[in-house]
Amino acid sequence: MYARIYVFRFPKETSDKPIICKLVKEYDVEFNILKATILPQHEGLMVIELMGHKKNVRNALDYLKTFGVIIEPLSTIIRRDEDKCFQCGACTGICPTKALFIDRPSMAVLFDPDKCNGCGLCVTVCPVRAMEVSLLQSVSTLP
């Protein structure tokens, strides 16, 4: 499943239209609203996570653009605090991209940030909270 976080900026003309609910019904895209400020006849702002097949997410984004919604993707960056990490390896079993892995024969837990997709699963399983997630706003308008 493809999942990305976006900032949507709604023009005031769309603030009273139920355009987000159509993402599920017509595009088979799930959403998780992380933050929203939308008032009638005012510009709106929403931070939202979209989940689904990549093609469906792109089609849903194209649909939103027809209403004048400005779309800015957010990227997540995962960092490891080396001072907190005690090399337990709990994160390696859950990492879907193998960005966290055990080096053999040294048995050291290594982190390759270039392989990381920012899913954050490692953050939730780390017993000492050595893994941290932060959001960065991207400069492009589409992934």
**Which pLDDT tens digit goes with each residue over 38-94?**
888 888 899 888 999 999 999 999 999 999 999 988 766 788 999 999 999 999 999
118, pLDDT greater than 80:
no
**pLDDT value at residue 88:** 95
Span 103-114, mean pLDDT?
90
Percent of the chain whose pLDDT exceeds 90? 51
128, pLDDT greater than 60:
yes
Q: Where in the chain is the domain with CATH 3.30.70.20?
A: 77-133
Q: Where in the chain is the domain with CATH 3.30.70.260?
A: 2-68
DSSP label at residue 12: G
DSSP label at residue 55: H
Q: Does the domain formed by 77-133 have CATH 3.30.70.20?
A: yes
Cα 38 to Cα 20, 43, 45, 48, 137, distances in angstroms: 12, 7, 6, 13, 20
CATH class of 2-68: alpha beta
Distance CA 78, CA 73 (A): 17
Question: Could you tell me the two tokens for 73?
Answer: 């993707």
